[in-house]
Amino acid sequence: MGSPPPLTGRRELLDLARTAPGVLLHGPEGIGRSTLLAALTADAPGTVLRCAPAEEDAALPHAGLVDLFAPVPEHCLASLAPEPRAALEAALLRGPAPADDRDRLALRVAVLDTLRALASTGPVLLVVDDVQWLDEPTAGLLAFAVRRLDGLDIRVLAAERVPEGEQPTRLRCCPPDTLELAVPPLTDEEVAHLVHAGTGAGPHPAALRRIQELAAGNPWYAQELGRAAHRASGSSPAPGAGPHAFDVPSGLRARLLHRFRELPAPARLTVLLASAVARPSLTVLRAAGLSDPAADLAAAERLGVAAVDAEGAVRFRHPLLRAAVYADAPGSDRRRAHALLADAVSEPVERARHLAHARPYEDEGTARTLMSAADTARREGAPDTGFELAALAVLRTPGDRPAERADRLLAAAEYACDAGRIEEAGEAAGAVLTESDSAHRRVRARLILLRNAGQALEGAGDLIEEGLQDALGDRESEARLHHWAAVRGLLCGELEEADRHARQAAEAGDTETRVAALATLARVRSLAGEPLAADAALEAALALSGGTEGGPESWRLIRMRAILALDSDRVPEAHEQLTRLLAAVGELAGVEDVMATLVALTRVQVRAGHCREALRTADRCARPLAEAGVPAAPALYAAALAATAGGTAEEARHLAGQAVRASEADGDRLFLLRALAVLGQAELLGGDPRGAAAAVEALQRVRELGTAMSAADPPLLHWYADLAEALVVLGETDEAGAVVREARARVSAATPGSVLAALERAEGLREAGLGRAREGAARLRAAVERLRRLPLPVELVRTLIALGAVERRSRRRSSARGVLGEALETATRISAAPLARRAREELARVDAGERAGETGGPELTPTEARIAALVGGGATNREVAAELFISVKTVEGALSRVYRKIGVRSRTALAHVMAVTVLATGAAVNVGDDDQVRPPVQAVTASQPGRVRFSRTPDTRR
């Protein structure tokens, strides 16, 4: 079978198996049972008795026992009673054969006593791989012994090959409390990981998709197919090479079909036809002229290849069997099968495919039939099939028709683009760009390549400029290229350029181009903080496209309208529009439309507090691109954003980091802004200085990018508020004030309430950070009241937690408990897990302070607590600044507030307080946690592990 597959995707199964006293792993050939057994027995203590019989061993009495007892020391056998010992030696071919039933009982007693003797000196592990081939006498011995192992340190691990959907038959060889574990198939992601690990390089995306389909989660099949694809230098399977054609390795085919090859030729032809047709059935096979397909398939069923269900449909036992049958047939037989099927099926797409394979040579009639079928498939929402058929049409186009070949290549490229098959689309369009002498076709090829680039348009400037040269005088083509220049400018943050090109495209293009250009113009003007101009451009585009019921041309406009509604706090309206759009898009849209709609819907669901739904939508968003093998910044951004609301801070940070890197690789500044912003939000979730420092780093980049882009849309102002909040946590109150003032300068009458509330939250936290807790709490209450009027529960919870923390630090515990309780209840109701955790932590601090009977002035902020601990330990201001990644000026200002809150006037006095604290608690202050230092005590006492509390006392100076 070749080398065993690695333990990809099996950790949970192994963990479960390790806890059981006995385990029977079962599943089909190649699913990884033996690999799991090897992992479970690696480094096993004590004695390991192992056998792994083959099929031919099943007829050899006691062959399994000979293997199992090979490592048993001779002295164990010598200690047996004479009669059992003689029976065992006979079974092990060391003495005469047993003569009667008494000797057979003696043999069972000998096996049991030997196991007991081994267990008396240490653990014993019995391992039987491929237990289905264990000879019957040995199976009987094991069945007798395992029922009598109670109280002994003996485990049994067994693996049984079981056909798909069936149950194990050798459970009697295992103890009564054995855990039966069906080894499940791997996921597509795990198969991809296994193939990459096995070859050291990923195959062509189309080849990987085919491997995933054919392996159906079987790791052995996946490895063998992956090696075959690697030997083919990672090339793509020939487009349209047959519904189940693939380079199934000859060795694998021989293993799978060794009995099938013994069937008579008519039966093999029947199964071949079933493997070649998309939906095999007895009806189709009879229409193809076969006399008795049912009898032929009955013979195939006995061999475990294929069967007929109650409705007459033919089902192969495994997808790889279907591919192997097709690949194993001679070319002449395959051509004959397709010719028969072309006459038997009536569906145009299927008929065209069979016709192409029945005539594997250049033929213009066949090529035209294929192109017609390809167009039909695309209209019916099957762009994958459209690409396969168009690619076949290219191969069937006669060599003396270069223009038709180029047009068909371009059609294939467009269909591949629709299907998200990025590499195939690029290869087809690139071939036209290289080979064609037609400027018009080269322009079409460049337009496909631009669309194919996705978000990575930064390096597409030359492609656009060269296209404009080829398109000179063709106003419609020029307009399409100007629109792509506008999209590039939008993504690269060149808003003035984007505005100019979008207006040029909107003036000269055909209706479709004008609609797209106006939509881009609306987005540009929205980013520039011009909502009225954005609405006007969007309404003009909708009027051109026939309104919201205008079909596919209106989808992007509806999505844009929803985004503008979202940015204006009209969240229910945005949610309704996107939900209806997603239902309308269905399977008719290309990958880009579906992904863009799902990303927008994720944003809406997060703001609406539908946190679980956001996680599911983000997962749906990533799926089509994962299947296409394309890492996409928008999908990663959506996943990170959903994780900030309903996942974990760690997950959000990880995904946001990936989104940042993907956006940078694409040169996509538009999504880089969003990715950096969500990274900053994820870092802020912990509420600690370390996370705040990372948040400042990310959000400062947002500020710089926004300034360079001249952006001023509502999300950007939200992110300014996040930056100010992170700066306050670090004690950088002056810089936080500058950020808020900069944002306030961009506020207008059209600025939505959520932006004003976010800025009020930042201002309130800054006031509290400056020691003006009462003023800070007032600002935060104003923000809370503003948010209560808006459908933004996540923002409300964030603000309630901020208010609760300020009230707690000011010793207003009753008020703190009230707002934090509301925050926790709301966060729990909407499944906002990270914020619920923050609320619980703050409530726990309120309760801890109350239990400790704390009195006196306000507590230190997290950054003040860290500065106090570091200065108390002897660090200079410059050393503290370097440690905390803040300025020396910030350290000086924070230290002044620490002196005031604690009631000291010098570093020496502060050091004395910190020393007394350490002596009283028996442990150093944990400067990495929040609120670990409190104002000084008359009697310094420990409250909770890792916490120190103080109460107001006269100056401790000497």
Q: Is 183 helix (H, G, I), strand (E, B) or coil?
A: coil
What residues does 127 pair with on adjacent strands? Answer: 50, 157
Beta strands 47-51 and 124-128 are parallel
Q: How distant is the alpha carbon of residue 64 from its chain centre?
A: 45
The DSSP symbol for 859 reads: P
Query: Which residues are within 8 A (CB) of 566 and not within 5 positions of it... i.e. 6 or more apart?
Result: 574, 600, 603, 604, 607
610 — alpha (psi -120 to 50), left (phi > 0) or beta? beta
Distances from the Cα of 568 to the Cαs of 535, 723, 783, in angstroms? 12, 21, 17
Element (H, E) at 352: helix 348-358
Report pLDDT for 234. 46
Distances from the Cα of 422 to the Cαs of 107, 446, 622, 765, in angstroms? 67, 14, 15, 48
Report pLDDT for 925. 40
Length of the chain measured in residues: 958
Which alpha helices (DSSP H) does 3-125 contain, by range?
11-18, 33-41, 63-68, 74-78, 82-91, 101-119
Helix 633-646 × helix 591-608 angle, to 10° = 20
Q: Is 218 helix (H, G, I), strand (E, B) or coil?
A: coil
Q: Are 408 and 392 in contact (CB under 8 A)?
A: no
| Token output for 576 | 């309704």
How far apart are alpha carbons 116 and 66 in whole angstroms?
A: 18
Q: Are 524 and 498 in contact (CB under 8 A)?
A: yes
Report pLDDT for 380. 85
How far apart are alpha carbons 826 and 758 in whole angstroms?
A: 18
Q: Is 179 helix (H, G, I), strand (E, B) or coil?
A: strand
User: DSSP string of 614-635?
Assistant: HHHHHHHHHHHHHHTT---HHH
Beta strands 154-161 and 124-128 are parallel
Beta strands 154-161 and 179-182 are unpaired
Report pLDDT for 233. 59
Q: Are 240 and 304 in contact (CB under 8 A)?
A: no
Query: Which residues are within 8 A (CB) of 20 and not within 5 positions of it... i.e. 6 or more apart?
Result: 177, 178, 179
Report pLDDT for 133. 94
What is the mean pLDDT for each group of 10 consecutive residues in the chain (958 residues)?
A: 56 83 90 90 90 93 93 89 90 72 83 93 93 94 91 92 86 90 88 80 76 90 87 56 64 89 92 93 93 92 90 92 93 94 91 93 94 91 90 94 95 90 90 92 94 84 92 92 93 90 91 91 88 90 80 81 92 93 70 85 96 94 59 87 94 94 86 93 85 91 89 88 92 92 89 95 94 93 96 96 92 92 96 94 84 58 76 79 74 75 70 55 39 37 36 36
- Dihedral (Cα; 736, 742, 748, 753), 10-degree rounding: -20
Report pLDDT for 586. 64
Q: Is 347 helix (H, G, I), strand (E, B) or coil?
A: coil
Rg of the Cα trace of the chain?
Answer: 36
Which alpha helices (DSSP H) does 216-264 contain, by range?
219-231, 250-257
User: Which residue is associated with the tokens 């689309």?
Assistant: 425
CB crowding 783-794: b at 16 or more within 10 Å, else e: bbebbeebbbbb
Digit-coded pLDDT (tens) for 872-913: 777 888 877 777 767 777 777 777 777 776 666 677 767 766
Distances from the Cα of 734 to the Cαs of 578, 837, 894, in angstroms? 41, 30, 11
Report pLDDT for 381. 82
Report pLDDT for 940. 35
Digit-coded pLDDT (tens) for 101-121: 567 889 999 999 999 999 999
Report pLDDT for 1. 47
Backbone angles phi, psi at 24, to 5 degrees: -120, 110
How far apart are alpha carbons 145 and 174 in whole angstroms?
A: 9
